Amino acid sequence: DLTEEMRLWVSLLLAAISTATAGATVKSLLFPSETSTSYVDLSPLKSLTLSAFTLCMRVATEVQVGSPVWKVLKVVSLSRLSFYLSGDGVYFSVPELGALETHVCFTWDSQSGATAVYLDGRKSLTKIYKKVHVVRAGGKVLLGQDPDNFLGDFDAQQSFVGEMYDVNLWDSALSPSEIRDLASGRQVQRANVIDWATVQVQSHGEVQVLSREL
């Protein structure tokens, strides 16, 4: 049972600068239009068994208001962010995302259930979510689509349209000061689950893998 096993459905649709330094060249993913075939697979560095995590990303999107965008990380009418470990999600009302890049982070800690979202280094209020639960291995890391099931069944209207780069996932909850550093482009500890600098990327459909200088 996926709900009981707390599989992390990392249907990531956005991404972030976190550990890159100024002047470095990084890969960037461009999703030019709504499709049911465009997505990216990522190969994590280790198992997705997690009792805490931080997920950071930088995103630029012109997705129309009202389009459902994220599964694990979800934009609801572009003004409410949520993420799902399993079952019901936790919601945060946030400023609208748009064509100008926004740095987004989520943190979660199983021991306390403390959950927060950060936009450009600014922290939301803390909410309690899935206390003492553990994310177990078996999740799939996808970018660009919201699978209705664990794999497959993509819906073009739920696809990501925009640009993303440097998806980074840690197996711990980073501190607010570390996330402020990330938002400012300063270097912190390297991500140890998904490290955008080294992660293997397999693109499908219309996704364009670009190189960009920071």
**68-77: per-residue pLDDT in tens?**
334 344 444 3
Phi, psi of 91 (to 5 degrees): -115, 145
Close Cβ partners of 187 (under 8 Å, ≥ 6 residues apart):
19, 21, 181
Reported as a single tens digit per residue, the pLDDT across 154-168 is 778 777 788 888 789
| Model pLDDT, residue 191 | 93
Condensed to tens digits (0 to 9), the pLDDT of residues 167-182 reads 898 999 999 999 999 9
- In the chain, where are the structural domains located? 2-213
Say if residue 65's pLDDT is above 50. Answer: no
- Which amino acid is it at 74? K
| SS3 state of residue 1 | coil
What are the Cα distances from residue 4, in Å, to 16, 27, 52, 102, 204? 30, 36, 17, 33, 31
- What is the total residue count of the chain? 214
In this structure, the dihedral spanned by the alpha carbons of residues 102, 33, 45 and 84, taken in order and rounded to 10 degrees, is 70
Residue 94 and residue 117 in contact, taking contact as beta carbons nearer than 8 Å: yes
pLDDT in tens, 67-122: 333 434 444 434 445 555 555 677 777 777 788 888 989 898 888 989 998 999 99
The SS3 assignment for 85 reads coil
pLDDT tens digits, one per residue of 5-63: 444 444 444 333 334 445 578 888 898 888 888 888 888 888 777 888 898 988 888 76
Tokens for 158? 């739920």
CATH topology of domain 2-213: Jelly Rolls (2.60.120)
